[in-house]
Amino acid sequence: DTMCTTPTPLPYVQLSHILVLIFAVFYPLTIDVSAGFIDTILMPFLIYATIQGFETLAKMLETATGHDCTDLNLFELIHNLEIQVKFVFESTEVYHKSLDDSFLLPMKSFSHFSSHSVTPKHCEDSLCGLPRHFGAYFHWLPVPTPILESLLQAHGHADALKHISRCRSKTSLRNLLRVAMKRVHAGKLYSLLEANPDHEKSIQQSLEFIRQDPNLFSRYVVFAGVYDPSMSSTVVDSTGTSCPDTKEADGKGLAVHRAWKDHVRDMVIDHRAAQMFGCGEDSQRSLLPTFRDIEIDCEAACSNDRD
């Protein structure tokens, strides 16, 4: 952890690179070609490999925000933050009365405070009647399989990666992830598939290690006011195990989405967070042409040339 959180100074990386260049250019000029195989080929190769290894490690440790096995797992940090936010939200909103009673319990044991009655504080009229559970404001959506594949390759458990490497010639890592985890696609919930009994033992062991990997997670949080229920992916509840029927809930979900979006936009109208809801202007990313736009432009240009 210290090696990841404490980056290697950039001058050390530059010095390692200079040493490699100096050795590769000037050391061969000092070698006696008649000294033999060990002195002319083997020993220079070992020295060069050692210096090159130091340079490679210095580049990997120069920054902790990359996507190498020595870098910080930013996806896991964000996921842990999402879990903590869910617990804090549920504790303060669902169990707030129990928490208040627990906080006041030591004060009630003293005679000085017990004589004073504690008046409960009521929320504003505009907030009364709103749902107080986490699932009403946020949804858990499945992480795309390509991201899971990259996450497992960079920060997966050593045992899982070892068993996966044994069956690379039989199946791909993405197929293993699809079999090992429950996925949501095109508005339907696809349960995880059982391993084929005809599969070899190496594939079955890989599936078990993927499911047991503590560094791998399959869902992320999205704000309900920004998420559009008319999209193909279906939302799941706060437990991440159930899925609503989109055929019956498409109209209601879209209406709730618009209501939440308008409500939250009015609440943060004076804050820069209101930029999340947009104002009809195109961003730099949305202005970039897609492959379909380029294809249409090419077809139009070809038709103009023919005319």
Over residues 243-281, the pLDDT tens digits come to 444 444 445 555 666 777 777 778 878 877 676 665 444
Element (H, E) at 208: helix 201-211
Q: Is residue 189 part of a domain?
A: yes
- Rounded-to-integer distance, Cα 144 and Cα 146, Å: 6
pLDDT classification of 293: cutoffs 50, 70, 90 = very low
Q: Provide the token pair at 158.
A: 């050593």
Distance CA(87)–CA(79), nearest Å, equals 13
142 plus 54 within the same structural domain? no
pLDDT in tens, 79-128: 889 989 888 888 887 777 787 777 777 777 766 555 555 555 555 555 56
More confident residue, 164 or 67: 164
Is residue 161 included in any domain, yes or no? yes
How far is 282 from 279, CA to CA, in rounded Å?
Answer: 9
Is pLDDT larger for residue 85 or for residue 6?
85
Same domain, 248 and 149: yes
- Whole-model pTM: value is 0.51
190, β-bridge pairs: 183
* Residues 160, 35 within the same domain: no
Question: Do 166 and 55 share a structural domain?
Answer: no
DSSP state of 209: H
**pLDDT at position 236 over 60:** no
Inside any domain, residue 261: yes
* Assigned domain for 89 exists: no
* Residue 85 domain-assigned (yes or no): no
Q: Do residues 112 and 141 touch, judged by C-beta distance below 8 A?
A: no
Confidence at residue 7, expressed as pLDDT on a 0 to 100 scale:
60
Q: Which residues of 193-277 form beta strands (DSSP E)? A: 219-223
Q: CA 233 to CA 243: how far, in whole Å?
A: 10
Which of 21, 39, 61 finishes a domain? Answer: 61
Which pLDDT does position 122 carry in this prediction?
Answer: 53
In this predicted structure, which of 60-69, 183-192, 246-255, 289-298 has the lowest mean pLDDT?
Answer: 289-298
50 and 142, same structural domain?
no
Q: Is residue 69 part of a domain?
A: no
The b/e string for 151-171 (b: 16+ C-beta within 10 A; e otherwise) is bbebbbbeebbebbeebeeeb
Structural domain total, the chain: 2
> Looking at 47-61, 154-168, 207-221, 238-252, which range is the least confident one?
238-252
Mean pLDDT of the chain: 68
Evaluate whether residue 90 is within a structural domain: no
pLDDT classification of 301: cutoffs 50, 70, 90: very low
Give yes or no: residues 154 and 240 share one domain: yes
The first and second tokens of residue 95, run together, are 């169990």
At residue 225 the predicted structure's pLDDT band, cuts being 50, 70 and 90, is low
CB 182 within 8 A of CB 192: yes
Residue 42 shares a structural domain with residue 154: no
Q: Is residue 10 part of a domain?
A: yes
* Tokens describing residue 244: 């609503």
Domain that holds residue 235: 138-275
Return the pLDDT at 3.
47
